[in-house]
Structure 1
């Protein structure tokens, strides 16, 4: 049966702003308190989705979170009307208000971990939303993420949904940003690679000294158990603590895989040789292309600033692969030179396509952050909510929707504006009708 990898890109929300909330994320901190451009950001994301659709790929859309999160502000003791809650939070706890306005759900690589049916014990596609406990602003997401995923993949015959892991840093889970999969075709049984930053219970294991390691070994193993994966089709590898301290907050900032290609920096993993040996032992039927980028060609700093590894590797209709990269890669001489040489080398990667996703890059996420990969066979794809699959008409409708509801700019002082809340809820209420999601947001359920 034919199989596909569908990229579900996060739609940038109407309150997109730069709050600099993510310690360890260089770009996020650098852009803190800048004026953001929500309409431009949403259109950049939609243009990328449409471009992949036009390349012949199946492309999906994943709805944003409700922001500001008034429910959380009320849980934290702010009272009165919605306008009074915003005003009180702005005066007494502006950092908390900024967190409840976070735009971070646009990076759907962190939304969940997905295991395709070819890998799982019951031959269903498994979904586990990430709990994202390391950052308060991201820990607000998993419940709504679960609601949205269930509305998109709403068929018990093919899909199995799990509750996110316990809301505790011992089981800190950052989703697909620390997970990749190697395989032949997307429908073949694959090897799922879980990358972790530290162990919560083994204190002798190395860990970073400056920035927190967000993904724990315990979380990765729990997700693998929930999904019914076996020892034969899983590998657990530790991320190099030194690169976490240099701003590599997720593994997808330093490594990315697609089918039989693993593209990674030589400093990405703590014990690369052992890791590669294990991959070869557990995936002997595949001629895996291990593309290791040396530090003397691309430094960690260049990798972080350009998001060379936070690119997408996609398989085109002719079987060759292309890298979907941000313009920052094209504008960096070291990275551009490396990519120019890569596509003429002896690997399946034969093209690089550069995209303007500057609004996302400024807030700390590249093309790979923007998408959640879901491998599906033909029957499973037919069972996906069709309203969430990109088409020419959906592209036009969503651009019109953005034009109707999004502001051109948002500054930090706008976060206390109650009208922004009203505008955001009106936009999301209409979006759930466009994408046929039902009442996935708390304001719709009250």
Structure 2
């Protein structure tokens, strides 16, 4: 297995993604094959990783996935020369109750894999005190090794000297110092704003980030501190919902976890993509239609005008299963109200009506117990997933698909819906629960 490391930090917004992208792009420019991973359920950052590394970034989630599945997903990267995983939130931040093999924190992934942590510190407004933060993180868990720090947003050579003096005093290695530089700050990447595939400036951003990191981080030392992976597992294979899967795939329906599609293919399924935005209907030869998450609210008018797509989807659902996740679920509903308050007719397979006129954030892990079967999963199955959207539910008249709780066990009102062959959920499926 290739050696690996984790880029983490004390908190969000400290520069993890900038360092990760720059490191991936810089090492790729050296001719290395680098495999990116993302700790946790975030599905925006992996798209940026993939653009930088030239190969798909995969989520590794210790709350939703078992150790066997995580090991199997890592095993798919056996041809890489180095693994670079980006953490989520702060290093030790996760839910209160453990899931399949941890609480979702990047620290749990580090402990499972044996990958050392490179801690990114935002040093704005502090000097030697940053060393106390680094030392505290180094002592927090004996099974998580802090290999060194990258000091971000360093104001001046004098500031850097004080920071280095503090780190030397507590025995923390400095792997690099990043001066303040606005031109490579990433655009806001979350929830309907900017995805990697929609970012026209991405080549320039990656080139700038690669040069910035190569000039200010000791790349040779980063390669040296990477450690062998201490876990293994079988190559992940996920039971597909059908043999031939019609998959909506365009700017409105852009998100499926990479491990899910790869797992379906490994199990022998054939994926037949189609574009609702181009008014395409699902392939008639398909056994099942899957509408992924995405941003239908940004294209609601175009979807409402896509009469061939909507008629084709309704015809398909008369005889075969159709399932939607989050944005796909909304598009299967009766109507969607955009942020201006305009009412757009959707496919009408379900009675769901959602609105973005008054945004309300729904965020967190979900554990769902199916009350009825959905494509690929029998009634009674327990599914682990993640919900993240800003829509408000105006009407949800159909039978609930599942009993849903959050990671703490509290009931969640977004139960999903079912009617005939149509099913949908607000959460994105990560894995079927094994315990």
Scaled by the length of structure 2, the TM-score of the pair is: 0.31
Greater relative contact order (Cα 8 A, min sep 6): structure 1 or 2? 1
Structure whose residues are more often strand by fraction: 2
Scaled by the length of structure 1, the TM-score of the pair is: 0.31
* Greater Rg by CA: 2
Structure whose residues are more often helix by fraction: 1
